[in-house]
Structure 1
Amino acid sequence: MPAKYVQLAASVRSAIAAGDYRETNRLPTEQQLMELYQVSRQTVRSALDILTKEGLITRRQGSGTVILERKAPEKPGNNTVAIVISFANSYIFPALLMECQQTLLENGFSALVYGTDNQFEKERKILTQLLEHPVQGLVIEGTKSALPNPNLDLYEKLLATGMPIVFIHNCYPELNLPVLRDDDETGGYLAARHLLEKGHTRIGGIFKLDDRQGALRYSGMMRALRERNLLSREESVFWYDTNQRLTLLEQGDTAWLEFFAEKLRETCTAAVCYNDEIASRLLEILLTQGVKVPRDFAIISFDNSHYSSLGTIGLTSLAPDPGMLGALGAQAILSRIRGEPVSGQKLPWKLVQRKST
């Protein structure tokens, strides 16, 4: 795993590319970055040193850390690849971006990183910009990939220009393009099977409604239950969307998750959660309610992130390999640029057991 300051530099770099600080054109203070990312001052300073050497920021007396302007690519002949992801600040992307950018750099290409915040409107603006300022290739994560996409016309226009496109994490089936992703259905199957092996027969879940990964993880969970002639009752499976996620993270609105927790306790003894971000907050709610985890209720989730190790009860979680996914994404787009065929790939999960199960 990359050093903490390298991961922080990647996170801040992605946030800058996504336009998170466009209004002020300045980064948060060192203290604010320490609190936001839960790291030491030395880690923050080392990360800022990296970004300064890259020419991305400069530190000015009395003005703080100023973001330096970078022009968009102007000529289609440049050696630039665009990388478009959903949430630039999400914990799953630093390693992915670092390996993707490093692989591109080793092959003579630079990267432009964009963030959609999983919003169709932002995706459309980015695709429009890429039509106006073409790049050599596009590595992209679909926006709300479980829903009909209103921007397929722009993808078709990009393809008509000859721009190679490779998807990561998910894709739009209408486009029939290669996608590199974690094997989400098998992940859901492994999570449910783990709970079954622990003796649970009443298993529910919380999944993300508007991303394809949520549907696949749910499908895998149900396959494992069917093999044991069990079915998860419909009232034991709950779905949330991007807007609910934002209210949870930005406004601290836990009402909907507290409702999920109450209903899960009524019908289940264990739950499969879409990711550590949701699972850690579900765990906190249950502990506040006096529930003994895992004795009264067990939780398993996905991503094996820093959330899984917070507190006294660690989360059993399925670990992906985001660095490998980033490197494969870069290799795939380089192959497409050379005119070589590329097939989709599914990466396996690794179960990391902790106290929550």
Structure 2
Amino acid sequence: MANKYEIVKKDILEKILSGEYDKNQQLPTESEMMTAFSVSRYTVRRAISDLENEKYVYRVQGGGSFVADWSAAKKNEEIPKVIGILSTHVASYIFPAIIDGADQVLSENGFSLILANTHNDPKRERTALTNLMSQNLGGLIIEPTQSAIDTPNIDLYQQIAQLNIPMVFINASYNNFEGTTLVSDDKNAIYQVTEYLIKRGHKRITGVFQVSDVQGIHRLNGFLQSYQNHPNILPESSSIMYKSDEVNEALQNMRELLVKNPDQRPTAIIAYNDQLAIRIVDLIHEVGLKVPQDISVIGFDDFQLSQYLSPRLTTVSHAKEKMGQDAARLLLQKIKHHKVESIVYHSQLIERESVSDIS
């Protein structure tokens, strides 16, 4: 739990960064802040002192505290040897591999890391960005949060850009903020996966895609594009779309499909990622069916555990560690003011044991 002075500091800092408090604007008095936050004078003074040390605030003797020209001060500082990585998650699934790849390159060049995660929640992203901006960073590697929508934190990203803090984005990008990106070819990858299943005789394929993130929308579009090339079986396709906090609802919808008669349930399922595919395989077993004898399953990302399932999961590759390495390299180039280009990784189908032919 944050200390009281940290709560006061965070609130004032966010108002400064968002522009609610303008340059040279006087801050509320100590007494006003004591009342607003229900804290002591010492707590207010400690928060203001921190902000003054970080060049966001200046004091006038006998006249109160004011918003400093903090953006100019930050621009004139020597480039710090600290890089922030902001991801939807940092400790699970494929993210440790991405972070490790970035750390390999950054540590070799004398940089250290600060990690933060958003759990794919824009409010948590705002808090994390605010905290990172107070750390005096040399650059940022960012995985967008709920990238299918315009970021509500555009004001903070604009402030970061104004501070000349280099940024690169991994896995996705925001429609309302341009930047250097490193992404998989999600649409084409799932298009090829769907074509692969159709060639193996599957007609009733269900795609299950998280549409909070632009990756999921691209994958959904690849799935639909493949079926549009096969209009004779288009009516037999189905899709389940869910937001990042609706995974359980998506699995319930999946269960309802699985318990239908054999001539109505899907013969194959394409999952948004391996994490979801693993849960779908468990669900198939729970309802008394087998993979791939009854239903074939394909994931995405080549998660490490996927090859140890029974049966081993057919999936699509993800650059992971290389993406992290490349993101760090591009960021270092941007720090040196070199021109860089975005990267699209071409994913490959990894055939294992979770797909069978339909005779």
TM over 0.5: yes
1:289-340 Cα offsets, whole Å, 9 max, x none, are 1223223221111012134234422211112120110011001111111111
Q: Which moved more, 1:140-149 or 1:76-85?
A: 76-85
Once residues 307 and 244 of structure 1 are traced to their aligned partners in structure 2, the CA distance between those partners, rounded to angstroms, is 23
- C-alpha deviation, 1:269, in angstroms: 1.5
In the alignment, which residue of structure 2 is the partner of 1:224?
Answer: 226
Once residues 111 and 315 of structure 2 are traced to their aligned partners in structure 1, the CA distance between those partners, rounded to angstroms, is 35
SS at match of 1:342: coil
Once superposed, which parts of structure 1, at least 4 consecutive aligned residues long, lie more than 4 Å away? 73-76, 230-235
Identity rate, percent: 31
Which of 290, 293, 309 is the matching residue for 1:292? 290
Once residues 125 and 319 of structure 1 are traced to their aligned partners in structure 2, the CA distance between those partners, rounded to angstroms, is 32
Which has the larger Rg? 2
Which of 268, 274, 277 is the matching residue for 2:275? 277
In the alignment, which residue of structure 1 is the partner of 2:200?
Answer: 198
SS at match of 1:163: coil
Which of 235, 256, 260 is the matching residue for 1:262? 256
Which amino acid counterpart does residue 307 of structure 2 have in structure 1?
S
Once residues 234 and 213 of structure 1 are traced to their aligned partners in structure 2, the CA distance between those partners, rounded to angstroms, is 24
SS at match of 1:299: strand
In structure 2, runs of 5+ residues without a counterpart are 4-52, 55-73
In structure 1, runs of 5+ residues without a counterpart are 1-18, 24-72, 246-253
- C-alpha deviation, 1:231, in angstroms: 6.0
Which amino acid counterpart does residue 345 of structure 1 have in structure 2?
I
Once residues 99 and 293 of structure 2 are traced to their aligned partners in structure 1, the CA distance between those partners, rounded to angstroms, is 39
Structure 1 length-normalised TM: 0.73
- C-alpha deviation, 1:233, in angstroms: 4.8
Distance 1:153 1:351, change over 3 A: same
Once residues 236 and 124 of structure 2 are traced to their aligned partners in structure 1, the CA distance between those partners, rounded to angstroms, is 34
In the alignment, which residue of structure 1 is the partner of 2:153?
Answer: 151
Which amino acid counterpart does residue 274 of structure 1 have in structure 2?
Y
RMSD across aligned C-alpha pairs, in angstroms?
Answer: 2.5
Which amino acid counterpart does residue 140 of structure 2 have in structure 1?
L
Which amino acid counterpart does residue 182 of structure 2 have in structure 1?
L
Which of 161, 165, 174 is the matching residue for 1:163? 165
Once residues 231 and 126 of structure 1 are traced to their aligned partners in structure 2, the CA distance between those partners, rounded to angstroms, is 46
SS at match of 2:245: helix
In the alignment, which residue of structure 2 is the partner of 1:126?
Answer: 128
Distance 1:174 1:297, change over 3 A: same
Once residues 341 and 196 of structure 1 are traced to their aligned partners in structure 2, the CA distance between those partners, rounded to angstroms, is 43
Aligned residues: 281
Structure 2 length-normalised TM: 0.72
SS at match of 1:315: coil
CA contact (8 A) 1:206 1:271 kept: yes
Which amino acid counterpart does residue 344 of structure 2 have in structure 1?
K
Which amino acid counterpart does residue 342 of structure 2 have in structure 1?
G
Once residues 230 and 84 of structure 1 are traced to their aligned partners in structure 2, the CA distance between those partners, rounded to angstroms, is 45
Q: Which moved more, 1:326-335 or 1:338-347?
A: 338-347
